[in-house]
Amino acid sequence: MSASTSPVIERGTATSRIAAVAVAVIIALLAIAPQFLSAGAVDRMTALFIYVILAAMWNALAGFGGLVSVGQQVFFGLGAYFAIRLADAGLNPFASLFVSAIVVGVVSVPLSLFMLRLRNGEFAIGMWVIAALTHLLVNLDRLVQGETGTSLISLNVYDAGTRRMTIYWLALASMTALLAMLFGLLRGSTGAAIRAIRDNEDAAASVGVRVTGTKRLLFVLAAFGIGIAGALWLATSITFQPKTYFNVQWTAYMIFMVLVGGIGTFEGAILGALVFFLIETWFGGAGVWYLIGLGATAVLFSLFLPRGLWGTVEERFGLRLLPVGYRVRLPGNPTAPADDGTAPSPRQTTQHQEKA
Amino acid sequence: MSNQIIQGILLGGYYALIACGLSFMFSVMRIINLAHGSLAVFAAYALWLLASRFHVSPFVGLLIVLPLMAVIGWTLQRFLLERSARGGALLPILTTFGLAIVIDNLLFEQFGADTRSLAPYIGSLSYDSWEWPGSIYVGKLAVIMFATAVVLLGGLQLFLTHTRLGRSIRATSEDPDTAGLVGVDARCANAIAAAIAMVTVGLAGAFLGMRATFDPYAGAPQLLFAFEAAVIGGAGSLWGTLIGGIVLALAQTLGAQVHPQGFLIGGHAVFLVVLFVRLSTSGLGLRGLLRLPSRSAS
């Protein structure tokens, strides 16, 4: 480590610039993909986009905001429920999906005033109580008819093909927009605050980071995003049964995706959603053993690989595809691997001191 | 109406039983065990299996199941919670949540979706009742449950204040490092605390099975009840848990009077009201919602 040469602080790397181009190409390919895919495949891809939204939003909350919630299904259910309500009131069904998500975001603001004062496990189960209560209250709505449920009937005016394509593009657009929003947020000045809170909340507060305000932003963003996901899910499945939408399994999926992918890394949530999607495709038919496997995998990751797949890759190889932080590179040794054992790592990055 | 109030208070005994393990574990290890309810249901299934397959009365079955739960608690702490707690405060939430999913679905795999009950195996106790003045009938089981809760909470309190082990557990909960300096084996104290907590969970599971029905996914509501009762009971002694349980049960009873689906809504609503009041009066954030039960005894 020579002190004579000043270190270079960089954000993008050659790989990240290639990755940025690749992302643009992938999105463009996904946009035209329905022309070449079977109807079933289009539906599966739509599900994948929804999973990516769920994972990214839960990761924003837990990985970046340090707020682990096991009640996020409340926003998923509300997203679907408000869409039903708005469509029933005469709004165009596709428009109601997004208006519904905005309503969910608005509802989450007063909720955040209250819930964000809870800490750790208390916040986690507190959110679960909120979800359970909301589920019961939605059941009281005559329109929903209790657990019998209802459906987004007005969507039936569109023929199946149009409906499938439109939902696919809406899901793709929502996913891209939400990821871009999160990416922009994390790269901006708020991003520094978010990572400071993630690494050490008290220390962040002591240097003037607006902890509560930043957390509220993430909480509302996550509510909004998961609201969209719930509304889109409703659009794909048409029927609304409260028990399905307010089921804690949605949060279990989110936790699984983020834990496996890499909590607190932007790319990790996307990778986790892909892994989950593949596992579901291959083993989803295994029923209860599939769920046992998901739970056991989550436990094993939390115990032995708490950084998840992407977090481990990132740490081992210093690879960063979509950089949201900065890294310090000392000149004269640009290609040294991240952990060369003896010297402090020259590629150590600013965002790597977190405790998962 | 007074009849319902008495029933509600007695039901509070059950909530106190299931809540005390949760708040005990939280106060000692700062961990909220999200598998808490699932483990109670597991205990209920173990008793059911003993009773239906081997004709062991659930009360005798406790002699097998409670030690088993203690071993599970010990193992859980040593191999799961201890390791995940090292990764920060958030990781144990995820670990225990994953564990809950595994337990729930294993139970489903093993026992299917049918609801079960221990009531058929405890003879007339499930429906026997005493008549109190004013033609109030109280179920014998409910009274036993309430008495068990009182004895258990009192016993825990005495154990924490008057035994060497209890004091070392309290010392660990206050500050594990300093406790280590004065010769307390914090790891051991934590594991014993987890074992004790799981014994209370086993008892709660037994009463859950005797007073009602359960199915493989009944763990989540039990966790919520336990959490709500513990938070409502709040700071101070273990007795707060009993009060929390009673308040929760009374709110549910009241809710059921108002609306056919109001039982659960009433419970959740009173929890949120208490939370709201506590948050707006304390201004301290929430460090102290589930406080040390030992504080008042020191």
Q: Residue B60: which CATH number?
A: 1.10.3470
Mean pLDDT over B244-270 rounds to: 91
Compute the distance between CA of residue A80 and CA of residue A91 in angstroms, rounded to an integer: 14
Residue B30: what residue type?
Answer: R
Whole-angstrom Cα Rg for chain A: 21
Task: Report B:126-165 residues touching A (Cβ under 8 A).
Answer: none
Compute the distance between CA of residue A352 and CA of residue B7 in angstroms, rounded to an integer: 55
Asked whether the beta carbons of residue B84 and residue A302 sit closer than 8 angstroms, the reply is yes
Structural domains of chain B, count: 1
pLDDT-derived band at B170 (thresholds 50, 70, 90) equals: confident
Structure tokens at B174: 């206050």
Q: Which residue has the tokens 């949120």?
A: B272
Compute the distance between CA of residue A286 and CA of residue A280 in angstroms, rounded to an integer: 9
Structure tokens at A5: 């040469």
pLDDT-derived band at B195 (thresholds 50, 70, 90) equals: very high
Secondary structure (DSSP) of B81-115:
IHHHHTT-SSHHHHHHHHHHHHHHHHHHHHH-S--
Three-state SS at B157: helix
pLDDT-derived band at B237 (thresholds 50, 70, 90) equals: low
Q: Is residue A334 part of a domain?
A: no
Q: Are A135 and A76 in contact (CB under 8 A)?
A: no
Mean pLDDT over A91-106 rounds to: 93
Phi, psi of A113 (to 5 degrees): -55, -35
What is the domain range of residue B69? Answer: 2-297
Q: From A139, which residue of chain B is nearest by alpha-carbon distance?
A: B261
Write the burial class of residue B12 (CB in 10 Å: 0-12 exposed, 13-18 middle, 19+ buried). buried
pLDDT-derived band at B26 (thresholds 50, 70, 90) equals: confident
Sign of CA dihedral A281, A282, A287, A292: negative
Structural domains of chain A, count: 1
pLDDT-derived band at A194 (thresholds 50, 70, 90) equals: confident
Name the DSSP class of A343: S
What is the domain range of residue A290? Answer: 8-329
Q: For every residue of B175-225, which 3-state class applies, written as one string?
A: CHHHHHHCCCCHHHHHHHHHHHHHHHHHHHHHHHHHHCEECCCCHHHHHHH
Phi, psi of B288 (to 5 degrees): -105, 20
pLDDT for residue A345: 37
Of A119, A132, A137, the CB nearest to B287: A119
Probe site for chain B from A72, A122, A135 (most B CB atoms < 10 A): A122
Decide the pairing of beta strands B136-139 and B213-214.
unpaired
Asked whether the beta carbons of residue A294 and residue B101 sit closer than 8 angstroms, the reply is yes
pLDDT for residue B297: 36
pLDDT digits (tens, 9 = 90+) for A245-283: 999 999 999 999 999 999 888 889 999 999 999 999 898
pLDDT digits (tens, 9 = 90+) for B72-83: 999 999 999 988
Torsion angle, CA of A272/A274/A275/A278, rounded to 10 degrees? Answer: 160
Compute the distance between CA of residue A266 and CA of residue A19 in angstroms, rounded to an integer: 13
Asked whether the beta carbons of residue A295 and residue B92 sit closer than 8 angstroms, the reply is no
Residue B71: what residue type?
Answer: V
Residue A126: what residue type?
Answer: G
Compute the distance between CA of residue B136 and CA of residue B123 in angstroms, rounded to an integer: 22
Residue B298 reports pLDDT greater than 70: no
Does A142 reach chain B within 8 Å, measured CB to CB? no
Does B112 reach chain A within 8 Å, measured CB to CB? no
Mean pLDDT over A88-102 rounds to: 92
Q: Does an H or E element contain B130, and which?
A: strand B129-132
Does B102 reach chain A within 8 Å, measured CB to CB? yes
pLDDT digits (tens, 9 = 90+) for A107-155: 999 999 888 888 778 888 899 999 999 999 999 888 888 788 888 888 8
Domain holding A135: CATH number? 1.10.3470
pLDDT for residue A8: 72
pLDDT for residue A7: 72
What B126-129 contacts at long range (C-beta under 8 Å, 24+ apart), as own/partner pairs, is B126/B210, B126/B211
pLDDT for residue A354: 37
- Rounded to the nearest angstrom, the minimum Cα separation between A335 and chain B is 30
Asked whether the beta carbons of residue B268 and residue A133 sit closer than 8 angstroms, the reply is yes
Among the ranges given (B32-46, B140-154, B170-184), the one the predictor scored with the smallest mean pLDDT:
B170-184
Does B14 reach chain A within 8 Å, measured CB to CB? no
Q: Is residue A223 part of a domain?
A: yes
pLDDT for residue B175: 82
Residue B211 reports pLDDT greater than 70: yes
Asked whether the beta carbons of residue A259 and residue B94 sit closer than 8 angstroms, the reply is yes
- Rounded to the nearest angstrom, the minimum Cα separation between B276 and chain A is 7
- Rounded to the nearest angstrom, the minimum Cα separation between A119 and chain B is 6
Mean pLDDT taken over chain A: 84
Side-chain half-sphere CA neighbours of B14 within 13 A: 23
Phi-psi label, residue B222: left if phi above 0, alpha if psi -120 to 50, beta otherwise? alpha
pLDDT for residue B127: 79
Q: Does an H or E element contain A9, and which?
A: strand A8-10
Q: Which residues of A touch B272 (CB under 8 A)?
A: 129-130, 133
pLDDT for residue B294: 39
Q: Is the ipTM of this complex over 0.90?
A: no
Name the DSSP class of A70: S
Probe site for chain A from B105, B223, B232, B280 (most A CB atoms < 10 A): B105
pLDDT-derived band at B4 (thresholds 50, 70, 90) equals: confident
pLDDT for residue A332: 58
Residue A96 reports pLDDT greater than 60: yes
Mean pLDDT taken over chain B: 87
Q: Which residues of B touch A126 (CB under 8 A)?
A: 275
Asked whether the beta carbons of residue B91 and residue A291 sit closer than 8 angstroms, the reply is no
Of B97, B105, B290, the CB nearest to A122: B290
Structure tokens at A252: 């279990």
Residue B24 reports pLDDT greater than 50: yes
Structure tokens at A97: 């999906």
Q: Which residues of B touch A114 (CB under 8 A)?
A: 275-276, 279
Q: Is residue A74 part of a domain?
A: yes
Mean pLDDT over B150-168 rounds to: 90
Q: Is residue A346 part of a domain?
A: no
Among the ranges given (A69-73, B23-27, B293-297), the one the predictor scored with the smallest mean pLDDT:
B293-297
Rounded to 10°, the helix A266-283/A288-304 angle is 150
Name the DSSP class of A307: T
pLDDT for residue B139: 85
pLDDT-derived band at A331 (thresholds 50, 70, 90) equals: low
Phi-psi label, residue A68: left if phi above 0, alpha if psi -120 to 50, beta otherwise? beta
Mean pLDDT over B250-257 rounds to: 92
Straight-line distance from the first to the last Cα atom of chain A, in angstroms, rounded to the nearest whole number: 28
pLDDT digits (tens, 9 = 90+) for A9-24: 767 677 788 888 888 8
Compute the distance between CA of residue A346 and CA of residue A337 in angstroms, rounded to an integer: 8
Task: Report A:97-126 residues touching B (Cβ under 8 A).
Answer: 114, 117-122, 124-126
Cα–Cα separations (whole angstroms), residue A350 to A11, A345, A354, B5: 11, 12, 10, 59
Residue B204 reports pLDDT greater than 90: yes
Does A129 reach chain B within 8 Å, measured CB to CB? yes
Neighbouring residues of B243: CB distance < 8 A, sequence distance ≥ 6:
B232, B233
pLDDT for residue A131: 95
Whole-angstrom Cα Rg for chain B: 19
Q: Are A258 and A62 in contact (CB under 8 A)?
A: yes
